[in-house]
Amino acid sequence: MTESPQFAQIQDLSAALAGLVASTAPSVTAVQSHRSRSSGFVWRPGLIVTADEALSEEGEYAVTLSGGDTVPAQIVGRDPSTDVALLRVDRSDLRPVSLEAAPVPVGALAVAIGAEAGTPTAALSVLSRSEGPWRSLRGGEIDARIELDLRLRRSAEGGLAIDPAGRAIGMTVFGPRRRVLVIPSATIARVAAKLESHGRIPRGYLGLGLRLVAIEGGRSGAMVMNVDPRGPGATAGIYQGDIVVDWNGEPIRHVQSSCTASQSRSGCVVPARQRRFR
CA 101 to the chain's CA centroid: 15
pLDDT value for 270: 42
pLDDT value for 169: 96
pLDDT value for 263: 35
- Tell which of 156, 175, 202 closes a domain: 202
Tens place of pLDDT per residue across the chain (278 aa) = 556 777 888 899 999 999 999 999 999 999 999 889 999 999 999 999 999 999 998 889 999 999 899 999 999 999 999 999 999 999 989 999 999 888 889 999 999 999 998 899 999 999 999 999 998 877 789 999 999 999 999 999 999 999 988 999 999 999 988 899 999 999 999 999 999 999 988 766 677 788 888 888 778 888 888 888 888 888 888 889 888 888 777 777 766 544 443 333 334 444 443 323 33
pLDDT value for 255: 67
Return the ∠ at Cα 102 (arms to 101 and 108), rounded to 5°.
125
Residue 54 and residue 131 share a domain = yes
The parent domain of residue 121 ranges over 1-202
pLDDT value for 196: 96
Residue 62 and residue 134 share a domain = yes
Residue 177 and residue 266 share a domain = no
Contacts of 256-265 spanning 24+ positions with Cβ under 8 A: 256/135, 256/139, 257/135, 258/210, 258/222, 259/206, 259/208, 259/210, 259/222, 260/139, 260/203, 260/204, 260/206, 260/210, 261/204, 262/202, 262/203, 262/204, 263/204, 264/204
Residue 127 and residue 16 share a domain = yes
Q: 31 burial class (0-12, 13-18, 19+ CB within 10 angstroms)?
A: buried
Q: What is the pTM of this model?
A: 0.77
Residue 219 and residue 88 share a domain = no
Residue 52 and residue 15 share a domain = yes
Output the domain CATH number for residue 162. 2.40.10.120
Q: Which residues of 245-268 are buried (b: 16+ CB within 10 A; e: fewer)?
A: bbbeeeebeebbebbbbeeeeebb
Residues 6 or more apart whose Cβ sits within 8 Å of residue 197: none
Q: How far is CA 154 from CA 16, 30, 151, in A?
A: 25, 12, 9
Residue 188 included in any domain: yes
Residues 6 or more apart whose Cβ sits within 8 Å of residue 193: none
Residue 33 and residue 163 share a domain = yes
Gap between the Cα atoms of 123 and 89, Å rounded: 27
Kindly give the residue spans of alpha helices, DSSP state H, lying in the chain.
Answer: 5-24, 185-198, 232-235
Residue 193 and residue 218 share a domain = no
Residue 117 included in any domain: yes
What is the count of structural domains for the chain? 2
